[in-house]
Amino acid sequence: QKEVEQDPGPLSVPEGAIVSLNCTYSNSAFQYFMWYRQYSRKGPELLMYTYSSGNKEDGRFTAQVDKSSKYISLFIRDSQPSDSATYLCAMSKFSGGYNKLIFGAGTRLAVHP
């Protein structure tokens, strides 16, 4: 079983839709939870990170963490064609004095006009 599970999609939605992306995890030692966006042939860029359970909002994006269920979500409101990309959830834990990111497989999102 992978430490982080993410549905690879693809997910196709019309412009203006609300998008919900989700990940589950098995390791309760994870401390930080992140969402990265990766455009084709580019490196991942950080969208949001959270430390505790609850919601965090940034513009059209809302990240949600439920540590009791080991479940995280990213909501995108008023989705735009420019949001078409692969969305990666990532989690981190400290082990032996270093911090590594553990990623989900990524969900490919297409927003069509």
Binding region for another protein (CB under 8 A)? 4, 6, 8, 31-32, 36, 41-46, 49, 51, 88, 90, 92, 94-106
- In the complex, the smallest distance separating the C-beta of residue 97 from another protein, rounded to whole angstroms, is 6
3-class DSSP state for residue 29?
Answer: coil
Residues 6+ apart with CB under 8 A from 49: 32, 33, 34, 35, 63
For another protein, give the closer residue by CB, 76 or 87: 87
Q: Are 76 and 60 in contact (CB under 8 A)?
A: yes
- In the complex, the smallest distance separating the C-beta of residue 4 from another protein, rounded to whole angstroms, is 8
For another protein, give the closer residue by CB, 100 or 112: 100
For another protein, give the closer residue by CB, 17 or 50: 50
Q: Are 94 and 64 in contact (CB under 8 A)?
A: no
